[in-house]
Amino acid sequence: MKILVIGGGPAGLMAAKQAFLKGHDVCIVDSQEKLGKKLLMTGNTRCNITNNKELNEFMKQCSKSTRFLYSSLSEFGPKEIIEFFNEHNCPLVPEDYDRMFPQSQKATDILNVLLTESVKTELNTKVERLNIKDHTIESITTNKGELTADHYILATGGKSFPVSGSDGSGYKLLQSVGHTITDLVGIETGLHSINTRPLQGLSLKDVTIKVRVKNKVKTTEIGDVLFTHFGLSGPGILKISETVVEHLKHPVSITLSLQQVDLSTGSLTKKLKAIYPNRFVDELLKDYDEKPLEQTSNYDKEIIRTIYLNPTYKITGVQPIEKAFVTKGGVATKDIDPITMKSKLIHNLSICGEVLDCHGSVGGYNLTLALSSGYTAGRKI
Ligand SMILES: Cc1cc2nc3c(=O)[nH]c(=O)nc-3n(C[C@H](O)[C@H](O)[C@H](O)COP(=O)(O)OP(=O)(O)OC[C@H]3O[C@@H](n4cnc5c(N)ncnc54)[C@H](O)[C@@H]3O)c2cc1C
């Protein structure tokens, strides 16, 4: 069969490889000048490709809608992905116990494994329309003309980082042929805050981050925090950003619980400066009337513990979806067969990758979902 794969990110590349291995004549159509542009940006160009958690633990870090991919992940999940890259001479190594990166620390090595020499490519070719007759794609219209195939696999990604090619056009293509698109929201994203401005440029390592909604703690994570021109970012913030996005209608704030220090004697400023950047401590203690801790009352020490060692920043919004790392929402899974990734509405169409309404947390989850659903789409045409 002749197969056209629309979108050459990790999902489309894996689908193309599997379809080719099944003996099909495969061509990838991509709007960009090269394949895998977003993949090359991942993990700060080191590519956190998967996570070596057991599948049930892995699923706990994914959205409820991602249960749709359980069958696909059971066949080609984190364990199989690790084996796949090992077999292709690109061994993966763990970091922080379970996040898996290529041993070479290069996203290019991951991309090279996913590329398949005998799969044809049509680059700089943007798909603008799916031409349908009797619930079947007859042809696709691109900026360069019409293309035809027996079967089509759509893997156009989400809506974030449009410079990588995933500009959300896939959602429109699918909506035009009857697929439902759930609300699209950017997650794994930076948070806007005004009272962080004096801290711009500073970063804190391994801080306990608490999301407070109407002053109640909703979630807690440990991770690095970066103070930026707009507010807060860094891996720890990206992790908790989904909870913030969900509750933005209410007053939301972020508390950074700092390390406990011995408050019996000495100078609080000196103790904190031994742990945190000077500028951070100066800003933190700007209203604190410093005196030796041995002369500080128990009442004041309680204030130090609850307020000064738990700075809280009011969140006023989040970065726009274009600047988020991942899109939450997408093609409603009710119209897709979970065993094959085939559309239930269009006979010769399969759908895979981030364009689906499935997502996971920071830590290699989203690339795993892309590779797994791509694997199924390519093998089960
Ligand atoms: C900066 C950054 C870092 C990230 N780091 C990680 C990480 O370390 N680990 C992790 O698990 N996840 C990470 N992610 C998320 C991960 O990159 C995505 O979830 C993943 O790339 C989705 O794969 P995909 O194949 O579905 O879509 P994409 O990788 O987005 O690929 C879609 C492809 O479709 C093409 N396309 C789109 N529309 C059309 C059209 N109309 N016509 C033709 N072609 C089209 C695009 O050009 C693109 O090549 C990161 C994301 C970003 C932005």
* CB of residue 166 inside a 6 A radius of ligand 1: yes
266-282 mean pLDDT: 97
Residue type, 15: A
Measuring CA to CA, which residue among 144, 164, 145, 137 is closest to residue 12?
A: 164
Per-residue pLDDT at 51: 97
* CB of residue 39 inside a 6 A radius of ligand 1: yes
Total-model pTM: 0.95
- Using the atom order of ligand 1, give the atom closest to the CA of residue 353: 26
* CB of residue 366 inside a 6 A radius of ligand 1: yes
Per-residue pLDDT at 194: 87
Strands 50-51, 99-102: pairing is antiparallel
Q: Extract the runs of DSSP E, i.e. beta strands, from the chain.
A: 2-6, 25-29, 50-51, 92-95, 99-102, 120-122, 127-133, 136-142, 145-147, 151-154, 185-187, 191-192, 203-213, 216-227, 231-233, 252-257, 312-315, 317-318, 326-328, 349-351
pLDDT in tens, 169-189: 999 999 999 999 999 999 999
Per-residue pLDDT at 94: 97
315-344 mean pLDDT: 97
pLDDT band at 191 (very low <50, low <70, confident <90, very high): very high
Phi first, then psi: what are they for 248, rounded to 5°? -60, -15
Per-residue pLDDT at 270: 97
* CB of residue 326 inside a 6 A radius of ligand 1: yes
Residue type, 236: G
* CB of residue 333 inside a 6 A radius of ligand 1: no
Q: What is the dihedral of CA 63, 352, 51, 84, to 10 degrees?
A: 160
pLDDT band at 374 (very low <50, low <70, confident <90, very high): very high
Question: Which sequence spans correspond to the domains of the chain?
Answer: 2-185+322-379, 191-318
Could you tell me if 92 and 103 are in contact, meaning their C-beta atoms sit under 8 angstroms apart? Answer: yes
pLDDT band at 249 (very low <50, low <70, confident <90, very high): very high
pLDDT band at 144 (very low <50, low <70, confident <90, very high): very high
The architecture in CATH of the region 2-185+322-379 reads 3-Layer(bba) Sandwich (3.50)
What is the token pair recorded at 338? 């979970």
* CB of residue 114 inside a 6 A radius of ligand 1: no
Q: Whose CA is nearest to atom 39 of ligand 1?
A: 156
Question: Is the predicted pLDDT of residue 195 greater than 90, yes or no?
Answer: no
pLDDT in tens, 97-123: 899 999 999 999 999 999 999 999 999
For ligand 1, the distance from its centroid to the CA atom of residue 162, given in whole angstroms, is 9
Helices 107-114 and 78-87: crossing angle in degrees, nearest 10, is 90
